[in-house]
Amino acid sequence: RTGRQIPYNHHGILKLCFEADEIAKWKKWIELRHSQGLKLEWLAIEALKKRYPQIESTQLVGAVYSPDDGQVDPVLLTQALVEAATLAGVTFHFDATVTGAKIAASSPQVCQSIETTRGEFPADEFIVAAGLGSMPFASALNQTITVNPVLGQALHLRLPETSRLPQPVVTGEDIHIVPLGETECWVGATVEFPDAAGEVVADEAQLQAVLDGAVAFCPMLSSAKILRQWSGLRPRPQGQAAPIIGYLEGYRNVLLATGHYRNGVLLAPATAGEICRMLGDR
């Protein structure tokens, strides 16, 4: 245990609904989730306005509130995991880039070691969690997996001192407002696909459209100051659903845990559990 405090928002998620003819669908979905033991609540427009007066749009018809959902700071969580793993005896080589692999001729094949900028590392088992870097690694093992970059941009905003942001994560029209206390939040994210040459460059206009969309249902954001903006490349598998979890074709000791596209943080515990199960089965 590290003793580190990892900020965790336990105020749930509020999903805004904008289509009147979808209300029945959402209510049916809530019923299904209730039967699975999950607490979800339908907030009709009056209840929504009363509980979250900061949310307003003439297009809104209601919202689904999920009290048991939460939101964790992914950077601090990752740092804590690295520290906990180190305490448990794991050695990290952050400054080593994987450049190739050595293969033993057998059937199924076996990867003997990886070559890196810091030398060669032999191992019994290899887990590939390299996002877009999983493609060249698979090539080094004479296999093909295709993972395309989908760029995402997001903003960190600060509102005036007297502001009171809604405390659940608010999501509407695929735009997400993640509160960090009452006067700061993250807003994101763009979903920008590569061009025919496979290149994707951050488009300022798309980020502005995300901010405008957030202001449209949370008008208080119009007075916010941008503290920071950032972008990242999400690894999206081509020709198969995300994520890619399982043995690399033809190999009995190379496990893929990659291609999580838009949900790598959310799915991290499930992926880790599945990879542990697969290793345990051996």
Ligand X SMILES: Cc1cc2nc3c(=O)[nH]c(=O)nc-3n(C[C@H](O)[C@H](O)[C@H](O)COP(=O)(O)OP(=O)(O)OC[C@H]3O[C@@H](n4cnc5c(N)ncnc54)[C@H](O)[C@@H]3O)c2cc1C
Q: Is the dihedral of CA 222, 225, 227, 228 positive or negative?
A: positive
- Given the complex with ligand X, which of 213 and 232 has the nearer CB atom? 232
Cβ 70 to ligand X shortest distance, Å: 12
Indicate the SS3 state at residue 187. strand
Q: Return d(Cα 277, Cα 282) in angstroms, integer.
A: 9
Q: Return d(Cα 104, Cα 151) in angstroms, integer.
A: 37
Q: Which helix or strand (DSSP H or E) is residue 80 part of?
A: helix 74-87
Q: How many amino acids of this chain bind ligand X (CB under 6 A)?
A: 21
Contact present, 12 and 65 (Cβ < 8 Å)? yes
Q: Return d(Cα 241, Cα 273) in angstroms, integer.
A: 19
Question: Tokens 């033991």 — which residue?
Answer: 37
Determine if 265 is a binding residue for ligand X (CB under 6 A): yes
- Given the complex with ligand X, which of 191 and 216 has the nearer CB atom? 191
Residues in region 213-232 near ligand X by CB under 6 A: 232
Among 32, 263, 270, 276, binds ligand X (CB under 6 A): 263
Q: Return d(Cα 50, Cα 56) in angstroms, integer.
A: 11
CA distances from 25 to 42, 135, 253, 256 (A): 11, 39, 45, 36
Which of the ranges 47-55, 78-86, 130-138, 196-204 carries the binding residues for ligand X, by CB under 6 A? 130-138
Determine if 33 is a binding residue for ligand X (CB under 6 A): no
- Given the complex with ligand X, which of 216 and 266 has the nearer CB atom? 266
Determine if 264 is a binding residue for ligand X (CB under 6 A): yes
By beta carbon distance, the residue nearest ligand X is: 133
Residues in region 230-259 near ligand X by CB under 6 A: 232, 234-235, 258
Among 62, 131, 149, 172, binds ligand X (CB under 6 A): 131
Residues in region 163-192 near ligand X by CB under 6 A: 188-189
Determine if 11 is a binding residue for ligand X (CB under 6 A): no
The helix, strand and coil proportions of the chain, stated in percent and rounded to the nearest 5, come to: 30, 30, 40
Determine if 16 is a binding residue for ligand X (CB under 6 A): no
Among 49, 76, 262, 274, binds ligand X (CB under 6 A): 262
Cβ 113 to ligand X shortest distance, Å: 14
The 10 Å Cβ neighbour count of residue 44 is 11
Determine if 98 is a binding residue for ligand X (CB under 6 A): yes
- Given the complex with ligand X, which of 166 and 188 has the nearer CB atom? 188
- Given the complex with ligand X, which of 54 and 206 has the nearer CB atom? 206
Among 130, 155, 185, 254, binds ligand X (CB under 6 A): 130
Among 228, 232, 213, 224, CA closest to 170 = 213
Which of the ranges 30-38, 43-51, 205-213, 262-270 carries the binding residues for ligand X, by CB under 6 A? 262-270
Indicate the SS3 state at residue 163. coil
* Structure tokens given for 278: 């697969």
Among 241, 270, 274, 280, CA closest to 125 = 280
* Structure tokens given for 253: 């000791």
Which residues make up the interface to ligand X (CB under 6 A)? Answer: 97-98, 129-131, 133, 152, 154, 188-189, 232, 234-235, 258, 260-266
